[in-house]
Structure 1
Amino acid sequence: MDAFPAASCRVAALFRLGKGMAGKTETVADTATGENKVLKKARASSAGSKAARPRATPKRDAARNQDLEDTKVVPRSRRAIETYEKLIAAAGELLGEVGFERLTTNAICERAQLTPPALYRYFDDKYQIIEELATRLQKRQFDAFAVWLFKNGATLDTSENPILLADWFRTASEIIETQPGGVWTIRAMRALPHLAHVRLEWQRRFTDQMFRFYRPAITDLSDETLWARLRIRAEFGFVVDELALEEDRVARSTLFKEAALILTGMSRLTTS
């Protein structure tokens, strides 16, 4: 009789234990199911966000490319600057000798007596080197024009203008010819899509320079009209540069004189 209650107690205990384990199993299963639901929801949300993510655009690509360009090393130490300048000098010499189509980075390195890794530390390709040459050439002309403008700009709409303007055309041409590779740099700015932005940027800088000089004195034109007339003059100046280099059937003295007469006759800065 005593054995039966003991056995019953053992059975009851085992029953309770089994029930408890079942409850724990259900809890684990429920937890796993909940986690699976959370994971599925997260994956769905991620997929939705990817689907909604805007596609790459030229503007974003340009920004990304700009970020990559910004990682290029800027020479700071004396040795680095010397290396950089050797590459620029070698590129300018070779550009004047062989033109931009036959110019190669290997040839530049050989002329500069440097290894290709030294070049690629600062430039991605030959076009970036030509861009640096173009920037330096335009900077020389820009600074020289500032001096000319300060000295002669006040007489730009007088009878002296053609003579003074012809003198500037002559100065601009001399700067190009004395710059290593200058002639081919001008040709590259006109012919290479890689350098179109350089040409446009400097044309606008010349225009802005003239605009700041003349705006206080010329009050009968709107900002838009004055800037437009000056922009035409800037463009015309680049055309004269190219004609002086390419056209051998017109004497330069004649070219500069006639260009100045045409420009001053067609585009006066004032309304009078």
Structure 2
Amino acid sequence: MTEEGEIPFAMSGRKPVQKRAQATWNRLLDAAGSLLEEVGVERISTNLVAARAGVSPPTLYHYFPDKYALLAALGERLMVAQNALVVLDPEQDEAAIAAVLEAHVTLTRATPGGAWIMRMLRAVPQLAPIRIASHRAVAHALAERVLALDPRQDPQSTEARARLCVDLGYAAIELIFDEPDLPEAPALADAARAIRAVIAP
């Protein structure tokens, strides 16, 4: 939830409207997330996902034309859920920023294959634009809030600082999953301190 409503980053493709179809769509994505963690992005296939979700391949193709459309929707779903946790308040303190980062970690852990989805969005060239578009949307919304509070700031440099803040936070979340033995709270507190320093005018 943000102060200005949802961040304007929407999922592409055809997301079903009816509840039953939504349940199937989410079941397919959950199955894809679990398989992504188990077999990796190279070996995952639409047939594997359909079997894991308990549907026929034609049912899967009703929602996703191919493997990469399925993986794109998987990545977009996580980005939308993560963006919903962002608080567009340039004046929030380090503790509040750290709490938002912790909420992202919790959400990602609760998402089937969550950490692997994040890795996929950085490693697979066809899917990287999803992550970049999401980060740009968050950064733009944050920059608008900064400029609303202080119109004297330069829009271009404000946008650049906001973009850096977004990637600092994302990198911190990735680090928690890449280095599971790293003390989580201190790492997120350090990341929050860096974000606070960058966004401060």
Does the TM-score normalized on the shorter chain lie above 0.5? yes
TM superposition score normalised by structure 2: 0.84
Closer, same or farther: CA 248–87 of 1 in aligned 2, 3 Å: closer
TM alignment of 1:134-153, pairs within 5 A: 134-145=75-86, 148-149=87-88, 153=89
Secondary structure of the corresponding residue to residue 65 of structure 2: coil
2:24 matched to which residue of 1? 83
Give the aligned length: 190
The equivalent of 2:130 in structure 1 is 198
**Percent of residue pairs identical:** 29
AA of the residue aligned to 1:111: R
Q: Deviations over 1:11-70 (max 9, x none)?
A: xxxxxxxxxxxxxxxxxxxxxxxxxxxxxxxxxxxxxxxxxxxxxxxxxxxxxxxxxxx9
Q: Which amino acid aligns with 2:179?
A: E
Paired residues of 1:73 and 1:121 also in contact (CA < 8 A)? no
Counterparts of 1:44-193 in structure 2 under 5 Å?
75-77=16-18, 79-145=20-86, 148-149=87-88, 153=89, 155-156=91-92, 161-193=93-125
What amino acid is aligned across from residue 107 of structure 1 in structure 2? L
Q: Take 2:188 and 2:124, find their aligned partners in 1: how far apart are those partners? A: 26
Q: Using a 3 Å threshold, how does the CA distance of structure 1 residues 254 and 77 change in structure 2: closer, same or farther?
A: closer
The question of whether the paired residues in 2 share the 8 Å contact of 1:94 and 1:103 is answered with: yes
Gaps of at least 5 residues in structure 2 are 1-11
Task: Give the structure with the larger helix fraction.
Answer: 1
* Contact 1:226-1:269 within 8 A present in 2 as well: no
Aligned to 1:269: 200
Instruction: Work out which of the two has the higher radius of gyration on C-alpha atoms and give 1 or 2.
Output: 1
C-alpha distance after superposition, 1:206-239 (max 9, x if no partner)? 1122123222111231111111111111111111
Tell me how far 1:85 sits from its aligned partner. 3.1
Structure 1 unaligned blocks of 5 or more: 1-69
Q: What SS does the aligned partner of 1:205 have?
A: helix
2:67 aligned partner, one-letter code: K
Q: What SS does the corresponding residue of 1:208 show, helix, strand or coil? A: helix
Residues in 2 aligned to 1:111 and 1:73: alpha-carbon distance in whole angstroms: 21
Larger RCO: Structure 1 or Structure 2 (Cα < 8 Å, ≥ 6 residues apart)? 2
What's the RMSD between the two structures over aligned residues? 2.2
Q: 2:183 aligns with which of 237, 251, 256?
A: 251
How far did residue 95 of structure 1 move? Answer: 2.2
SS at match of 1:188: helix
User: Which whole-Å CA distance do the structure 2 matches of 1:154 and 1:75 have between them?
Assistant: 35
After superposition, give the CA deviation of every residue in 1:114-158 in whole Å (9 maximum; x if it has no partner). 22122222223222112111111111111111xx33xxx2533xx
Relative to structure 1, the CA distance from residue 108 to residue 189 in structure 2 (aligned partners, 3 Å threshold; closer, same or farther) is same
Q: How is 1:218-229 mapped onto 2 (pairs within 5 angstroms)?
A: 218-229=150-161
Distance in 1, matches of 2:50 and 2:147, equals: 47
